[in-house]
Amino acid sequence: MSRPNDRLNNEMRQLKMQAGFVKNPEGSVLVQTGNTIVLCSAMVEEKVPPFLKGTGSGWVTAEYSMLPAATEARTPREASRGKITGRTSEIQRLIGRSLRAVVDLTSLGERTIWLDCDVLQADGGTRTASISGSFVALYLALYRIKEKGILAEIPLIDYVAATSVGIVNNVPLLDLEYTEDSQAEVDMNVVMTGRGDFVEIQGTAEGKPFSRQEMDNLLGLAEKGISEIIALQAQTIAKEVGYVPQFTYSHEE
């Protein structure tokens, strides 16, 4: 059974990143992976949530939303329903955690970076595209405030990016699109750093439980995909700032 557009099992959809799509946020990028389109923005606010006041530490938080017209059948607006769904809440917590994993919050100082991920078009993988795009928006925002002299260094430790993998009809696949995702027996979101370590693994058996061997195969696919995404992140940032970000991992010794 072949995939749509004859994609190979270990092949990503076409991925594009357009930095500076909107001009008000300190950093922004329009991420497009196949038919999934997400606008990621990073905005700096010069205060922190109450639990961090006076600690010297900063914060990174994310909000995620789907435009009503992003899906085939219109998705009712959460603002109109008066509350966000459990799914949205879960996704924004995941995005926030994933990005904080590569930020040195102490060096950031007492300020908050708001990451806004708004899905303009949804075709599977919106949460992982949000993570991958948020990294670029975040880097650009931190770069901009460093240029203004507000920060001495960009307080990032490594790249971070994400993809989804899954098992469809017993076959492990990389980067599921919606028609695949909706019939997957196993669905796994993987978040990794540039150095190749895991930040988050969320694997769910939608249809039937999966074995250790199957999980190993899925992780292999995810590693391949994420290394490709990170290459594009590096290139997108380089086009804006004039150099490719390098990280030395000195914090681990």
125 is in an annotated binding site: yes
| β-strands 59-66, 186-193 pairing | unpaired
**Count of residues that bind a copy of itself according to CB under 8 A:** 69
Binding of residue 59 to a copy of itself (CB under 8 A): no
Name residue, tokens 């708001």: 114
Q: Using the rule CB under 8 A, which residue among 38, 39, 60, 161 binds a copy of itself? A: 39
Binding of residue 212 to a copy of itself (CB under 8 A): yes
Buried b / exposed e over 62-74, threshold 16 CB at 10 Å, is: bbbbbbeebeeee
93 is in an annotated binding site: no
Binding of residue 116 to a copy of itself (CB under 8 A): yes
Q: Residue 85 belongs to what H/E stretch?
A: none
Q: Max Cα separation, the chain?
A: 58
Binding residues for a copy of itself restricted to 191-210, rule: CB under 8 A? 192-193, 195-205, 208-210
Please return the burial class of 54, using the count of CB atoms within 10 Å of its CB with bins 0-12, 13-18 and 19+: exposed
Binding of residue 126 to a copy of itself (CB under 8 A): no
| β-strands 36-45, 27-33 pairing | antiparallel
Binding of residue 185 to a copy of itself (CB under 8 A): no
Q: Which one-letter amino acid corresponds to residue 74?
A: R
Residue 221 phi, psi (nearest 5):
-60, -45
Compute the least distance from the CB of residue 47 to a copy of itself, in Å: 12
The residue among 147 and 216 lying less far from a copy of itself, judged by its C-beta, is: 216
Which two three-digit tokens encode residue 217?
């195969």
Compute the least distance from the CB of residue 106 to a copy of itself, in Å: 13
Residue 164 phi, psi (nearest 5):
-110, 145
Q: Which one-letter amino acid corresponds to residue 171?
A: V
Compute the least distance from the CB of residue 69 to a copy of itself, in Å: 4
33 is in an annotated binding site: no
Binding of residue 72 to a copy of itself (CB under 8 A): yes
Compute the least distance from the CB of residue 62 to a copy of itself, in Å: 11
Binding of residue 67 to a copy of itself (CB under 8 A): yes
101 vs 115: CA distance, rounded Å: 14
Binding of residue 252 to a copy of itself (CB under 8 A): yes
Binding residues for a copy of itself restricted to 230-249, rule: CB under 8 A? none
Compute the least distance from the CB of residue 8 to a copy of itself, in Å: 23
120 vs 249: CA distance, rounded Å: 35
Buried b / exposed e over 81-107, threshold 16 CB at 10 Å, is: eeebeeeeeebbebbbebbbbbbebeb
* Residues contributing to the annotated binding site for phosphate: 87, 125-127
The contact set with a copy of itself (CB under 8 A) reads 21-25, 28, 35, 37, 39, 41, 43, 45, 63, 65, 67-72, 74, 77-90, 92-93, 97, 101, 114, 116, 118, 120-122, 158, 188, 192-193, 195-205, 208-212, 215, 219, 251-252
